[in-house]
Amino acid sequence: MKGKTYYEAGVDLEAAQEIKLHIRDLVATTLGSEVISGPGGFGGVIEPNPKSEFLLVSSTDSVGTKLKIAEAMNRHDTIGLDIVNHCINDILPAGATPLFFLDYIGTSKLNSNVISDIVKGLSSGCRTANMALIGGETAVLPGIYHGNDYDLVGFIVGTVNRNHLISPDKTSEGDMLIALPSSGLHTNGYSFVRSIFDIDNNPSVLKDVVPGTSSSLGELLLVPHRSYYDTFGQHLNIINGLSHITGGSFYKNVPRVLSDGIIAEIDISSWKIPPLFKFIQESGNVSDDEMFRVFNMGVGMIAVVSEKSAEFLMSELDECWVLGNTNKRTSENKVEFKS
């Protein structure tokens, strides 16, 4: 049986990359000298005042079709936490501390219970990060959204001392890759999962227990996106790079934090892939390469540190392991897997 692909599920990663390259020149016309880091990184970095010691870091994203799982299970209290934590993890690679957050909810019709549950999740995530939820927009758009459909988007702004900004030029050959576990799929790959299990047409499959666990497929798919904000404590200053393993997984996100001429060599045997990912792969007969292109496979964040700092950082972290290392790049590949 031919294995399923993300493309067949309606998501074309190559086309998305081509579009980004196509609009790059248009975006570039808006970037002034105050922009430290524009499109391409996890968060945009801007200098609000040349005399200020602080820079602003911002990012925006959506929960994606994980919302369809929440709808199928009629559970909406964790979706807000998903988008808050996702956005926090996208400014953390710059070394930023969250400052404030805004949300956008688009829906076909107002359901006060659903909206209340969403905002509970948003508020919980913001309180945990000591971040203000200062506003947002709830738009009722029948004809754009249908039935019980809704969309949830977040926008975050954080700050970082300009002397503590983490940027790709800090990484070098011989650095170690320290991995931190994900809590599940986080907020990526859900269109693929929905296609593999035909969830939209057969939501009862969400009640099936995932082999190797005591939880149902639906329960595991709704586990909130983990935040890594408090993980590193006061030790961000010894980190050369941070990669949030989100859409596009390892192939897209690891190169974003590496300097030119560097390759990340990842040891697949260094960790045990969680049962949920194995269940997805076996159910869809998905190839290993496709799995690592789409899903985080149990790796939520990767810290790039010098060999000298690696041992100390690992002693300070509760859950982590050596995922691999960086090396001099001798081909077009920026990420290679080995076992």
CATH code for residues 169-338:
3.90.650.10
The tens digit of pLDDT for each residue in 192-251 reads: 999 999 999 999 999 999 999 999 999 999 999 999 999 988 889 999 999 999 988 999
Query: What is the homologous superfamily of the domain 31-165 according to CATH?
Result: PurM-like, N-terminal domain (3.30.1330.10)
Non-local CB neighbours of 123 within 8 Å, separated by 6+ positions: 80, 133
| Contact (Cβ atoms closer than 8 angstroms) between residue 229 and residue 98 | yes
Domain locations along the chain:
31-165, 169-338
Pick the closest to residue 334 from 276, 279, 257, 280 (CA basis): 257
Instruction: Name the residue with tokens 């009629």.
Output: 74
pLDDT value at residue 183: 97
For 111-159, write each residue's pLDDT tens digit.
999 999 999 999 999 999 999 999 999 999 999 999 999 999 999 999 9
Per DSSP, helices labelled H in the chain are 13-28, 66-73, 79-91, 112-128, 190-197, 217-221, 249-253, 275-284, 288-294, 307-316
Q: Quick: pLDDT tens for 11-24.
A: 877 887 788 777 87
Contact 332, 188 (CB under 8 A): no
Asked whether the CA dihedral 186, 191, 194, 197 is positive or negative, the reply is negative
How many residues does this entry show for the chain?
339
Tell me the pairing of strands 262-267 and 321-328. antiparallel
- Other beta carbons within 10 Å of 288: 12
pLDDT value, residue 17: 76
Report the pLDDT value the prediction gives residue 1, as an integer from 0 to 100. Answer: 56
Residue that the structure tokens 């506003």 belong to: 135
